[in-house]
Structure 1
């Protein structure tokens, strides 16, 4: 039996610890933009490693429709799609777009349509890597009339019933038939709607306010959209945002002030129907539409009583707010317009450690946020692609673009979860060999690949390994070995490089064993035991695990 959920929020635009990966799936929603015709749709692919090759599959093709060859670190390739790529029918479609790469990339989706210099339908969206997708999603209660009433907007599209509601695009992210269940609340009664989606196909539905949840048998991507969202100046703009699984929620948020926004509300989605939101220990009371108002437009700190998703909304603008526990160490900012603004939030005592590119952000740019440990800075960039990073406490960064009278944007793309002392660090790459080898043979194999023997010298490298490795039922060698002279364990990264310092270990229970014949270390590759280490005889044959260390990301 499903509980009745409190789902009164709207859009979710890209929320995760890291936004890079090797496989993505997305689609371009319809951009009517009050009947603008010259719609431009594109994907911007940025490489995080040299010699990156990308295949893009469109409209159900089993062979790449487009290719990007040999993309280098920090370089961006723009792939343009025709207007026919937009998903406009309420039904099944093959118009999904899959992006596969040989190395980690980030993907940014851009859609725009101009009519005059002051009216533009524009939207950007961070395409989430498949690793961030899931099988359980909360769907906001979307009442278009309530939204317009809240902001005092007259519905200019009232004669077109197809625009009276938001839309939900569900994309099957896997190469198998996907069983979908939509949970609805109709007159306080739970109803289930069941159907299937074929491999990599999608379905577009009207997102009425009865929708509560989507549950699936395999991973999906979920987009909420409106092709012609009314604004206050008798125009409209397409909106698109990607909802993430329920695990991407939190309780503490810093709500930023956005230049040019004079009206704003908060909307909240939670599994807990009793969840509430407080500001300065005062509970915020929802309006009849379910929206929550802050005392003023300044940047403020709010706390939820249980895990929630929180959004800041304004006519034409929907920004997913990043929970405090998911702040990161480095962000990539892909800008679209000539007005390039970043809103940065950092702990007040660590603002001197925050940089834009190679330059520390000037102290005069920071202003303290009342009743919090945080400060805010509004930073402009001269480049279409920028990096903001910190060497100490984690930060959060939002992109604010402006074209004509349209303000759009959302969270920047988190590249690295942890702060780094020398810049924006690109995570290392793991490679698991296909042939069973002895320990010394495995070391030589990694050296031939111009990689190190995998050495998870700290928990962050170990965690990164668990995210990247393709699980298998065999074991793999790592560069950990015991000295015959001292019996101490040491790291052997390559044939000529060794370190005696072993400060982090992930031994399985009962390990390491005191066996003079077992002086090498391996780990399980099936993931069932958290990739724990154990001792083994060096002459045993296992898969070599190689590693390319992190490097500084320079644009």
Structure 2
């Protein structure tokens, strides 16, 4: 029944390759109605580095918060007047700048009534680096959406509540020329106007708007303050649209328990774009929605060209993560007490998924037919956490429960580089030493500088090392691989938080004819010549070679709630 959509909360989380930065701009869309007094608005700012400061600019007032530590969060509350409820221009944009990278999360909700009737909406604020000048608008028709899920249009007293809206925010300190591209009676038309520095405009939106183009970067938010029905329940929708460059062709459509009906909505600037499942092209409904025949499991779909894809259901409005935008680490921010994460990982390495410092050991994984992926849903207790993979990229969605419905969206990606040490905020660094030393001396040399001998245990790490060294020197350098005198097996000698030596993985990069007999070489070096593809050789440990040291990355350890402050106290 469509009534579920009307009072179930909707969540639309982050989606870009990384969603951190040092400059953001956003706005609070109208929640429920401008006449409804009991709503709250807040921003969560989470620091990724030590000694971070940030400043919020709103309504000619600035507030600065200093000395945030890595993983700590500050929540800033805003007054009702911060909401954008009028159509037309507004100065209600909110800018955030920081001295180091942060992530920013937004919450809007009503404060009265039982939880299942509260109007809750959260979204990740994309950094300005992720914004663009070309946006495709999903063809959402208000009445078509209602009818798709078995409802009937309610008698709306105001036109403003009978359609979606677009908030377009000028992200730069210069006048911005905006071009709206419309499809009117099968004829493409353009409408141009200008937005002053850092200001915004809100306009009515429907399935006739095709594209937003701009002369400078803008943020574009699709919103509906209150999808109503005859029993006066309503549901807020917010989706920060991503620029065209973030499209993809391959998607895993996640199965979400408790969702009995869902549709896909595809957006593309190619008129002939199509979506297929198991080599069968999906046919759109008159309202443009696409259906999967089996909605009881996660499934893999392919687009003929780059598209954006949204999963829509009563209580859900999720922009799906394309396969080319899977990441290695995600931050998860929750607002309810019933918290889940849906994780999609490669089946061969699904046991390398972690939440904060711990392996996910008790998860029940389900293979996704016809793919290399499996999916699982895990229950979480923390209101803030992160999930990461040590060797490959994954997709992570947040799921929450209002008591009567499940809602969710993509988590916040903050690193696309898998690493065995954790959720990376500053990548590790390789460095070739100047002095020629024995293998043991090289190990001691690296350790003395709080580093370790390089250990390229996977093909990705080997490629990172090769890209970092990138020389044509006709010589060799030591890496942290040697043979055991007891078993003659090769193993990695390194310093990690839990151990000093670990067995070798299945990955090796030996040169032809290598390794030599154990008595001719117990230690391993690599060529510093890219012509030789940085291949490995066995060598006598007493030989003098330059060490390749590795400085471990800076990683998140834990996310900690910080202070909650009221921004309105600083308003003039």
Q: TM > 0.5 between the two?
A: yes
Work out the CA distance in 1 between the residues paired with 2:158 and 2:325.
41
Q: CA offset at residue 233 of structure 1?
A: 6.9
| Cα distance, 1:347–1:451 mapped onto 2, change above 3 Å | closer
Shift of 1:271: 1.3
Question: Hey, what does 1:497 align to over in structure 2?
Answer: none
Q: Residue 116 of structure 1 corresponds to which residue in structure 2?
A: 113
Corresponding residue for 2:94?
A: 97
What secondary structure is seen at the aligned counterpart in 2 of 1:116?
A: coil
- 2:553 paired with 1:553: no
- 5+ residue gaps, structure 2, are 1-9, 430-448, 452-460, 479-524, 531-550, 559-572
1:57 counterpart residue number: 57
**CA distance in 2 between partners of 1:41 and 1:504 (Å):** 57
Give the Å deviation of 1:328. Answer: 0.7
SS of the equivalent of 1:349 reads helix
How far apart are 1:274 and its partner, in Å? 0.6
Q: Which residue of 2 aligns with 1:324?
A: 323
**Among 59, 75, 79, the residue aligned to 2:76:** 79
Tell me the CA shift for residue 83 of structure 1.
Answer: 1.1
Q: How many residues align?
A: 457
| Cα pair distance change 1:350/1:233, threshold 3 Å | farther
Q: Does structure 2 retain, via aligned residues, the 8 Å contact 1:342–1:380?
A: yes
Whether contact under 8 Å (1:23, 1:129) holds in the other structure is: yes
What aligned pairs does 1:253-272 form with structure 2 within 5 A after superposition?
253-272=251-270
Write out per-residue CA displacement over residues 195-242 of structure 1, whole angstroms, 9 at most, x where no aligned residue: 110000000000122211111110000000000024797511111110
Deviations 1:14-60 (CA, angstroms, capped at 9, x unpaired): 3211110000000000001797531110000100001000000012x
Question: Shift in Å at residue 260 of structure 1?
Answer: 2.5
Question: Which TM-score applies when normalising by structure 2?
Answer: 0.74
Which residue pairs with 1:203 in the alignment?
A: 201
Cα distance 1:280–1:231, how it changes in 2: closer, same or farther (>3 A)?
farther
2:190 equivalent to 1:192: yes
Q: How much has 1:281 moved relative to structure 2?
A: 1.3
Q: Unaligned stretches of 5+ in structure 1? A: 1-9, 431-449, 464-477, 491-499, 506-547
Deviation at 1:362, TM superposition (A): 2.1
Correspondence 1:21 to 2:26: no
* Secondary structure of the structure 1 residue equivalent to 2:227: strand
Q: Which has the larger radius of gyration?
A: 2
Name the stretch that deviates more: 415-424 or 110-119. Answer: 110-119
Q: CA deviation at 1:428?
A: 4.9
Instruction: Quote the RMSD (CA, aligned, Å).
Output: 3.2
CA–CA separation in structure 1 for the residues paired with 2:206 and 2:334:
32
1:357 corresponds to: 356
Matched residue of 1:229: which SS?
coil
User: Does residue 309 in structure 1 map to residue 295 in structure 2?
Assistant: no
Preserved CA contact (<8 Å) 1:33 1:237? no
> Higher relative contact order by CA 8 Å / sep ≥ 6: 1 or 2?
2
The question of 1:241 aligning with 2:244 is answered: no
TM-score normalized with structure 1 length? 0.76
1:48 corresponds in structure 2 to 48
Partner-residue secondary structure (3-state), 1:418: coil
- Contact 1:14–1:243, Cα closer than 8 Å, also in 2: no
Q: 1:11 and 1:426, CA in 2 relative to 1: closer, same or farther beyond 3 A?
A: closer
Report if aligned partners of 1:252, 1:302 keep a CA contact under 8 Å in 2: yes
Sort the Cα spacing of 1:392 and 1:429 in 2 relative to 1 into closer, same or farther, 3 A. closer
Aligned ranges 1:35-434 → 2 under 5 Å: 36-59=36-59, 61=60, 64=62, 66-117=63-114, 118-156=116-154, 158-230=156-228, 234-297=232-295, 298-362=297-361, 364-428=363-427
Work out whether residues 15 and 411 of structure 2, in 8 Å CA contact, stay in contact via their aligned partners in 1: no
- The Cα shift of 1:296 comes to 2.1
Post-superposition offset of 1:315: 2.2
Counterparts of 1:423-502 in structure 2 under 5 Å? 423-428=422-427
Instruction: State how far apart, in whole Å, the 2-side matches of 1:366 and 1:229 are.
Output: 36
SS in 1 for 2:286: coil
**In structure 2, distance between residues paired with 1:378 and 1:396:** 12
Secondary structure of residue in 2 paired with 1:228? coil
- Deviation string for 1:85-136 (max 9, x for gaps)? 0000001000000000000000000111144213110011010011100001
Task: Give 1:393 deviation, angstroms.
Answer: 2.1
Question: C-alpha deviations, 1:257-292, integer Å up to 9, x for none?
Answer: 123322210000011111111111111111111100
In 2, Cα distance between equivalents of 1:221 and 1:34: 22
Answer whether contact 1:123 1:240 (CA < 8 A) is retained: yes
Provide the rounded CA distance (Å) in 2 between the counterparts of 1:154 and 1:75: 46
Q: CA deviation at 1:154?
A: 3.1
